[in-house]
A and B are shown apart, each in its own frame.
Chain A
Amino acid sequence: MQALTNRSKIASNKKMSFMERIYFPAIVKGMFITIRHFFGKKATINYPEQTREFSQIYRGMHVLKRDDEGRERCTACGLCAVACPAEAITMVAAERKSGEENLYREEKYAEVYEINMLRCIFCGDCEEACPKEAIFLTDRIVESEYERLPFIYGKDRLVEPVDLNLRIDISARQTENVLKFKQNKRFAHNK
């Protein structure tokens, strides 16, 4: 039979030589291996103090963007929920009343917008599906919890603050390809 790899070793039942039988050379050899690792570089990083460098386009916790005037961009069209392969997104749409023009950008908005972070696979399909540039994945980490319920993030944790200084930066996600794609005049309304 042909070997699949060249790593297989032929086992033999040959008698051990004297040096092998007294074990000590092998033990000393093993001890040198461990002491080399003792002074070697550690694979672990000190997590809360140090963080591993993220990719430029890391896909972490979502953000629901506001426009420059502080109005929510999301119009509850449901395309993200349809696009979501893990079915993590649910929403309830509502109609904008008069007097709420400073809160919501379009006539329709999401009254409830929930993402189940335990279901989410952070694929970024919601971001791609969104016609209003409302949802983005960011380099923030979804924090750990002791129970399941807190992992269902509502609007209180997803929508970014109104204050311009506290807005979540998503410029890293705007790669050249994305910007080129946005040149299409179908997206002119998002300017």
Chain B
Amino acid sequence: MDWTLYIYKTIFLFIIFLITLVIAMYSTYGERKVAAFMQDRRGPNRAGLFGLLQPIADGLKMFMKEEIIPLTANRALFILGPSIAMTTAMLTGVVIPWGGTLTIGGREFSMQIADLNIGILYVFAMVSIGVYGIMIGGWASNNKYALLGSIRAASQMISYEIAMGMTIVALILSTGTLSLHEIVEHQHGIHWNIFYQPLGFLIFIVCAFAETNRAPFDLPECETELIGGYHTEYSSMKLGFYLFAEYINMFISSAVIATLYFGGFNMPFIDQLGLSPNLLTLLGSAFFFLKIFGLIFLFMWIRWTLPRFRYDQLMNLGWKKLMPLAIFNILATGAYYYFTEFN
């Protein structure tokens, strides 16, 4: 490691940090627009052109609001909750390969902050820690609704993480690596994992909805029954952190899905284009973000189409449907490789 690499990594880290925040910010705007359009409304269009300044206005509003910490709340944990939610949401982006390698002045720079050889486990670890933000926040509020919300969040996360982990096992069987960069390399061109693991993809995306607490699995924060669930007692920017973390999670999980199943920064017919490698890398990154935006739209589309699951239906789906399916998926994948590759 020499100093140019350090500088490059630092700058790249800040760029990714910034992109994550901006995309999360405009996801809130996008969500409101998508919701409005699907309900034959127009959505926010007062602040700036097409309402594009709406997220800034919302953020400003959050900052200006009175900050209330309930007297009965556990003060330290109450503050810790949203901090954990936000921090872990931001941390996951570190291992995602945002692009190939750039060659500047004869040196190669990877468009990935850290190519951990256990990248996928790191993602799972961060997602699991993210639950603590919700659990601690809900518990520290000292409020029945908040506690119910956080209990739901915890049980939901645990239930769906199992099915999610098992689909990943099948994916690892077919790619043979835990490094996200190598998984992407493995899907070169149009050999995307979704074509090899369609069932796994379906299970994974359902679990991703559950893990990010998005509708139809938004039981931890269902407005109608739990008055906001775990963030009932939160106000001001601490509430903003929770809501913002949800959008960051949505962005990151879209990125993870795009990496694992949609070939990451690979695009079809990339070898036939005959462009310079640097240009191809940037084009690949742009294509990667296009995939991410498509998946974010899918997240929103589902949210404004499906009603919320009942709690027992949620558990039923997680344990009795998705888990057996995931196990079947592992067995099928394993059997396929056993009979084709080891003969």
A contact residues around B40 at 8 Å (CB): 37, 40-44
The verdict on B304 contacting chain A, using a C-beta distance below 8 Å, is: yes
The segment from B31-39, B139-147, B326-334 found at the interface with A is B31-39
Q: A35-B301, A46-B45 are in contact. Are A27 and B306 (CB under 8 A)?
A: yes
B7-41 contacts to A (CB < 8 Å)? 34, 37-41
The verdict on B155 contacting chain A, using a C-beta distance below 8 Å, is: no
A contact residues around B38 at 8 Å (CB): 34-35, 37-38
Q: In the bound complex, do residue B42 and residue A38 qualify as a contact, i.e. CB atoms below 8 Å apart?
A: no
B228-253 contacts to A (CB < 8 Å)? none
The verdict on B305 contacting chain A, using a C-beta distance below 8 Å, is: yes
Q: A37-B37, A38-B34, A38-B37 are in contact. Are A31 and B301 (CB under 8 A)?
A: yes
A12-44 contacts to B (CB < 8 Å)? 27, 30-31, 33-35, 37-44
- How far apart are the CA atoms of A98 and B285 in the complex, in Å? 87
**Interface residue count for B (Cβ, 8 Å)?**
13
Interface centre among A30, A34, A39 (most CB of B within 10 A): A34
**Least CB distance, B46 to chain A, in whole angstroms:** 9
**Interface 1/0 per residue, B30-63 and A, CB below 8 Å:** 0000100111111001000000000000000000
**Least CB distance, A117 to chain B, in whole angstroms:** 26
Main DSSP-derived SS at the B contact region: loop
The verdict on B173 contacting chain A, using a C-beta distance below 8 Å, is: no
Q: In the bound complex, do residue B305 and residue A30 qualify as a contact, i.e. CB atoms below 8 Å apart?
A: yes
**Least CB distance, A36 to chain B, in whole angstroms:** 9
B contact residues around A35 at 8 Å (CB): 38, 301
**Interface residue count for A (Cβ, 8 Å)?**
15
Q: A31-B301, A31-B302 are in contact. Are A37 and B39 (CB under 8 A)?
A: yes
**Least CB distance, A23 to chain B, in whole angstroms:** 9
**Least CB distance, A18 to chain B, in whole angstroms:** 13
**Least CB distance, B295 to chain A, in whole angstroms:** 14
Instruction: Select one of A30, A38, A46 contacting B306, CB under 8 A.
Output: A30
Interface centre among A27, A42, A43 (most CB of B within 10 A): A42
Instruction: Select one of A27, A31, A44 contacting B41, CB under 8 A.
Output: A44
Residue of A nearest to B34 (CB): A38
Q: In the bound complex, do residue A44 and residue B42 qualify as a contact, i.e. CB atoms below 8 Å apart?
A: yes
Residue of B nearest to A45 (CB): B42
**Least CB distance, A50 to chain B, in whole angstroms:** 11
Q: In the bound complex, do residue A43 and residue B305 qualify as a contact, i.e. CB atoms below 8 Å apart?
A: no
A contact residues around B39 at 8 Å (CB): 37
**Least CB distance, B321 to chain A, in whole angstroms:** 9
A contact residues around B45 at 8 Å (CB): 46
Instruction: Select one of A27, A41, A44, A46 contacting B305, CB under 8 A.
Output: A27
- How far apart are the CA atoms of A30 and B34 in the complex, in Å? 15
B contact residues around A39 at 8 Å (CB): 37
**Least CB distance, B48 to chain A, in whole angstroms:** 15
Residue of A nearest to B303 (CB): A34
- How far apart are the CA atoms of A33 and B40 in the complex, in Å? 12
**Least CB distance, A59 to chain B, in whole angstroms:** 28
**Interface 1/0 per residue, B261-296 and A, CB below 8 Å:** 000000000000000000000000000000000000
- How far apart are the CA atoms of A92 and B40 in the complex, in Å? 50
- How far apart are the CA atoms of A117 and B53 in the complex, in Å? 36
Q: A30-B306, A35-B301 are in contact. Are A43 and B41 (CB under 8 A)?
A: yes
Q: In the bound complex, do residue B42 and residue A42 qualify as a contact, i.e. CB atoms below 8 Å apart?
A: yes
- How far apart are the CA atoms of A27 and B317 in the complex, in Å? 15
Q: A30-B306, A38-B34 are in contact. Are A46 and B301 (CB under 8 A)?
A: no
B contact residues around A40 at 8 Å (CB): 40
Residue of B nearest to A36 (CB): B38
A contact residues around B302 at 8 Å (CB): 27, 31
A contact residues around B301 at 8 Å (CB): 31, 34-35
Residue of A nearest to B321 (CB): A22
Identify the A interface with B (CB < 8 A): 27, 30-31, 33-35, 37-44, 46
Identify the B interface with A (CB < 8 A): 34, 37-42, 45, 301-302, 304-306
9 A-B pairs with CB atoms under 8 Å apart are: A27-B302, A27-B305, A30-B305, A30-B306, A31-B301, A34-B301, A35-B301, A38-B38, A46-B42
The 7 A-B pairs of least Cβ separation, nearest first, read: A34-B305, A34-B38, A38-B37, A30-B305, A44-B42, A43-B40, A31-B305
